[in-house]
């Protein structure tokens, strides 16, 4: 769906048609709009991009739809001589890589096989690490740099800016603490230089065969801080929790909508017989749950971040961890929809957009007195 109020993007591809270098193609597309966040190359379709979370059509006059040969060539240019990625694409049908366009942008890239041909999805990564101000992060999150152990989880749906928030938190630790940071990423996104901290970044497949092996190895590499790109399964959750229990500060992300879903997803990943004990362990080690999402603004369709931050010791987080509160009771207390409501009352976001991004649209509609369709 095209973004409301966004004009058809004009892309000058004259200089890059006819099988030109992929770098030239990417540069031409990115010049069309500085807000492009994602690029999609699919056989049978023209170039597709996302701006502020919405699909926007590209005007590529004189160019037909991409062919399977076109997307295969683009995929080959992006993978280059990355043998691990080539092997994974052949064996598993997909691979994740990072790609740098010198002086222009960096990308997180997923290449996958569909209908026997290659498709490519690229996420644009800012060349500079975002800071608290640029992301609008709550100031109390600076406390994370002073923690000596525990688990910090950044949560939200796909495309909500979790990676940027995690990078900003790590950068703040890097700038303020003399410590050792190890990151485990799939792939590496933001590049962290050594500042006060020493930072080692390990990329899945090229630096380590698996996330679980990398976490186990990290426990023998004297880190103070371990950052895991995402906790995807029970084994990584168990290892992250074990690392937190053995005196490390562990930061990671989960694709969950809010703090309540985060706790329940973590607990549910374990066998039923272990869930009560897991809930107790999380209760001891969970320091912060940061839930977030990006909401389009009324006037220019740029997105504004809203956050729900729950800290250890807060009554609400305790209620989530003890597992006795009902979903209905908690939905009124959780903060994401309250923050979205503030944006509506300040005139920054339309009620319709607010309800589309709410955790509990029915409850928010009642508070805004907006009739539900």
Using one digit for the tens of pLDDT, what is the confidence trace for 73-111? 999 999 999 998 999 999 999 999 999 888 888 999 999
- Which residue matches tokens 């280059």? 80
Per the domain annotation, does 313 fall within a domain? yes
Give the model's confidence band at 328: pLDDT under 50 very low, under 70 low, under 90 confident, else very high: low
Per-residue 3-state assignment (H helix, E strand, C coil) for 93-127:
CEEEEEEEECCCEEEEEEEEEECCEEEEEEEEECC
Q: Which of 156, 106, 122 is nearest to 295 (CA)?
A: 156
Determine the distance from the C-alpha atom of residue 140 to the mean position of all C-alpha atoms in its chain, rounded to a whole number: 21
Give the C-alpha distances (Å, rounded to integers) separating 360 from 227, 342, 356, 367: 31, 15, 10, 11
Residue 3 placed within a domain: no
Q: Does 152 share its domain with 83?
A: no
Among 89, 106, 125, give the residue marking a domain's end. 125
Domain end, chosen from 98, 125, 152, is at 125
pTM of the model: 0.84
Number of helices followed by number of strands (H, E) in the chain: 14, 14
List alpha helices for 227-287, DSSP H.
234-245, 259-268, 275-285
262/293 same-domain check: yes
Convert 277-340 into a string of H (helix), E (strand) and C (coil). Answer: HHHHHHHHHEEEEEEEEEEECCCCCCEEEEEEEEECCCHHHHHHHHCCCCHHHHHCCCCHHHHH
| CB neighbour list of residue 305: distance below 8 Å, 6 or more residues apart | 135, 136, 137, 161, 292, 293, 294, 295
pLDDT, tens digit, for every residue of 213-248?
A: 999 999 999 999 999 999 999 999 999 999 999 999
Region of 301 (left: φ > 0; alpha: ψ -120 to 50; beta: rest) is left
With vertex at residue 238, the alpha carbon angle to CA 202 and CA 270, rounded to the nearest 5 degrees, is 140
The model's pLDDT over 103-114, given as tens digits with 9 standing for 90+, comes to: 888 999 999 999
How far apart are alpha carbons 357 and 314 in whole angstroms?
A: 25
What CATH number corresponds to the domain at position 232? 3.40.50.300
Q: How far apart are CA 193 and CA 183, in angstroms?
A: 12
Considering the domain architecture, whether residues 163 and 112 belong to the same structural domain is answered as no
Between CA 255 and CA 162 the distance in angstroms is 9
Q: What is the pLDDT of residue 138?
A: 96
Nearest by Cα to 189 from 112, 102, 124: 124
Question: Total domain count for the chain?
Answer: 2
Question: Is residue 187 domain-shared with residue 230, that is, in the same domain?
Answer: yes
My answer on whether 102 and 226 are in the same domain is no
Asked if the structure places residue 69 within a domain, the reply is yes
- Whether residues 184 and 274 share a domain: the answer is yes
Average pLDDT along the chain: 88
Q: Record the tokens describing residue 102, joined without a space.
A: 């010198």
One domain, residues 107 and 176: no
What gap in Å lies between CA 14 and CA 205, rounded to an integer? 37
**Could you tell me the CA-to-CA distances from 89 to 71, 72, 114, 138, 315 in Å, in that order?**
14, 12, 12, 40, 47
Looking at the fold, whether 121 and 217 belong to one and the same domain comes out as: no
Considering the domain architecture, whether residues 118 and 164 belong to the same structural domain is answered as no
Domain that holds residue 33: 9-125
User: What pLDDT score does 55 carry?
Assistant: 83
**Beta-ladder partners of 117:** 114
Candidates 323, 326, 311; CA nearest to 360 is 326
Relative to beta strand 105-114, strand 48-51 is unpaired
Per-residue model confidence (pLDDT) at position 324: 64
Q: Read off the pLDDT of residues 106-140 as tens digits, 9 standing for 90 and up.
A: 999 999 999 999 999 999 988 789 999 999 999 99
- Tell me the C-alpha distance between 67 and 70, whole Å: 5
Using one digit for the tens of pLDDT, what is the confidence trace for 266-311? 999 999 999 999 999 999 999 999 999 999 998 776 889 999 999 9
């Amino acid at each position: 769906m095209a973004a409301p109020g966004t004009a058809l993007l004009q892309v000058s591809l004259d200089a890059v048609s006819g099988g030109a270098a992929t770098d030239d193609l990417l540069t031409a597309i990115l010049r069309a709009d500085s807000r492009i966040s994602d690029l999609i190359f699919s056989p049978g379709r023209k170039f597709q991009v996302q701006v502020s979370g919405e699909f926007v059509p590209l005007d590529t006059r004189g160019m037909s739809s991409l062919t399977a040969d076109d997307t295969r060539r683009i995929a080959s240019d992006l993978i280059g001589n990355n043998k691990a990625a080539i092997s994974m694409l052949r064996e598993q049908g997909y691979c994740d890589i990072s790609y740098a366009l010198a002086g222009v942008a960096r990308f997180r890239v997923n290449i996958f096989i569909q209908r026997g041909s290659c498709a490519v999805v690229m996420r644009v990564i800012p060349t500079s690490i975002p800071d608290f101000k640029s992301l609008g992060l709550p100031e109390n999150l600076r406390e994370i740099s002073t923690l000596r152990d525990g688990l910090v989880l950044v949560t939200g749906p796909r495309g909500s800016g979790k990676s940027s928030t995690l990078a900003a938190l790590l950068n703040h630790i890097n700038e303020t603490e003399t410590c050792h940071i190890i990151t485990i990423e799939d792939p590496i996104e933001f590049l962290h230089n050594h500042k006060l901290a020493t930072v080692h970044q390990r990329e899945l497949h090229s630096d380590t065969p698996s996330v679980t092996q990398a976490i186990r190895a990290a426990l023998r590499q004297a880190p103070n801080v371990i950052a895991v790109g995402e906790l995807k399964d029970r084994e990584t959750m168990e290892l992250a929790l074990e690392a937190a229990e053995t005196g490390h500060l562990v930061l990671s992300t989960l694709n969950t909508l809010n703090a309540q879903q985060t706790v329940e997803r973590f607990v549910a990943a374990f066998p039923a017989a272990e869930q009560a004990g897991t809930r107790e362990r999380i209760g001891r080690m969970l320091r912060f749950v940061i839930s977030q999402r990006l909401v389009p603004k009324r006037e220019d369709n740029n997105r504004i971040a809203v956050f729900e931050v729950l800290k250890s010791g807060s009554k609400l987080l305790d209620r989530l961890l003890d597992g006795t509160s009902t979903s209905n009771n908690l939905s009124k207390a959780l903060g994401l929809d309250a923050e979205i409501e503030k944006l509506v009352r300040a005139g920054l976001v339309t009620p319709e957009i607010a309800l589309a991004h709410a955790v509990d649209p029915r409850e928010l509609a009642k508070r805004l007195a907006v009739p539900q369709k």
